[in-house]
Chains A and B, each alone.
Chain A
Amino acid sequence: EADIYQTPRYLVIGTGKKITLECSQTMGHDKMYWYQQDPGMELHLIHYSYGVNSTEKGDLSSESTVSRIRTEHFPLTLESARPSHTSQYLCASSGDGANVLTFGAGSRLTVL
């Protein structure tokens, strides 16, 4: 059973709303990631963190922001949601040299 938790699992909101997707892990992993996944498509890295107070943008341009104030917590925030943000957001962490990822169950966001 994975020790990485995402909330909410499902969220439907209106355009222009601010939302925060939560991600917490209890494994003490230094590295954490946010991926975006659309149906039938590959995962795209949008943000990652090597440790506390370290955040970097990933390959996919995203209007979201992240923070890493505590090792176990890596929330993702959208200041003003748009329909183009509708997607599944997956949080992951890793703590070994091989960088094997442990994923959360995902947050499915729908913006109307």
Chain B
Amino acid sequence: KNQVEQSPQSLIILEGKNCTLQCNYTVSPFSNLRWYKQDTGRGPVSLTIMTFSENTKSNGRYTATLDADTKQSSLHITASQLSDSASYICVVSDRGSTLGRLYFGRGTQLTVWP
């Protein structure tokens, strides 16, 4: 069964600290993996997208890694800010159809305290 599992479910860190969020998937065949940030009461916003051949991609203070062999991805946030408080969602796309079906994780709820 194609699944996307994220950990931890929730995380609290102090402003300025770093953190790493995990995503494990069983989706096959694999096309790409995306990380989205969803602020409370808003729609998700794309942070990064990685294909099979990419193992790291950065977007400002966000760095995503991908190990396609172990089917794991991580999102590292450097020097956290209060505005980083949000849910971070891992999404994996397969190649099983023309459009590529999307499999969503339940998200990690990050809270940054001052």
| B106 engages A99 (CB within 8 Å) | no
Q: Give the contacts of A70-112 with B (CB-CB under 8 A).
A: 90-92, 98-106, 108
Interface residues as binary, B28-63 with A (CB distance below 8 Å gives 1, 0 otherwise): 000010100000011111100100000000000000
| B46 engages A105 (CB within 8 Å) | no
Interface residues of chain B, those whose CB is within 8 Å of chain A, are: 4, 9, 32, 34, 41-46, 49, 89, 93, 99-100, 102, 104-107, 109
Interface residues of chain A, those whose CB is within 8 Å of chain B, are: 2, 4, 31, 40-43, 45, 50, 90-92, 98-106, 108
Would A106 and B49 be within 8 Å (CB), given that A42-B105, A45-B102, A99-B102 are in contact? no
| Most chain B beta carbons < 10 A, residue from A2, A42, A102, A108 | A42
| B106 engages A103 (CB within 8 Å) | no
| B105 engages A98 (CB within 8 Å) | no
**What's the least CB distance linking B38 to chain A, in Å?**
8
Chain A: which residue is nearest B38 at the CB level? Answer: A103
Sample 11 A-B pairs with CB under 8 A, ordered by A number. Answer: A40-B107, A42-B104, A42-B106, A42-B107, A45-B102, A91-B43, A100-B49, A103-B43, A103-B44, A106-B41, A108-B41
Q: Which residues on the B side are within 8 Å of A45 (C-beta)? A: 102
Would A92 and B43 be within 8 Å (CB), given that A31-B99, A43-B104 are in contact? yes
**What's the least CB distance linking B75 to chain A, in Å?**
16
| B32 engages A98 (CB within 8 Å) | yes
- In addition to A40-B106, A98-B93, A101-B44, 9 A-B residue pairs with Cβ atoms within 8 Å of each other are A40-B9, A41-B106, A42-B104, A42-B105, A50-B99, A98-B32, A100-B46, A103-B45, A105-B42
